Amino acid sequence: MMMSAMMESLAHFAVTVIGKDRPGIVAGVAEVLYRLGCNVEDSSCTMLGGEFAMILIVSHDKPYSKGRLLEEFKDLCSGMELSVSVRSLHPDEISYQAPQGELCIVSVYGSDRPGIVYRVTRELADRRINITDLNTKLIGSKEAPVYVLMLEAALPVGVSVEQLAAMLEKLKKELQVEIAVRSVTPVSL
């Protein structure tokens, strides 16, 4: 009850930050949030090509507005040429939702061409398999680029890692790529 009451007295926001990659973006965002007294509850960031992308779930004591949060980012945005957006979160959006079902990693390697991400993710979506993380990279040389897709997925009850691997065999041949599926062993802390 005490934790629930604390959660209700907080305003929660999803903050996204996008801009040309350079040193200091994470520190600048963290400084703004620290000065405001915000708590970073969850975050992820990455570099895509030459662009930097970050998403954070932050909380602050109520009353606190989305507009105030955006206002505090103005100097950082103009100084580092960043785009920041803020979305207010409803109470049902703020608690961590553990993926249901067995977790697995699907890795795809092949010649770079349009449609790999779409076809693989469509196959998973059609089978009600929830993707919890996804990354792609282009590796190899300019003359022989290799496309790599790595994703983590939560399998619905009744679908095993072996069954998923068998389901993806036809797609593997059709796309002329290597597809591997392996189980993820959860770690307890």
Residue 34: φ, ψ to 5°: -65, -45
CATH of 2-93, one of 3.40.50.720, 3.90.1150.10, 3.40.50.300, 3.30.70.260: 3.30.70.260
pTM (2 d.p.): 0.72
The CATH code for residues 103-183 is 3.30.70.260
Note the pLDDT tens digit of each residue in 26-52: 999 999 999 999 999 989 998 888 899
> How is residue 5 written in tokens?
């009451």
Segment 61-108, tens digit of pLDDT: 877 788 888 999 999 999 999 999 999 888 777 766 666 778 999 999
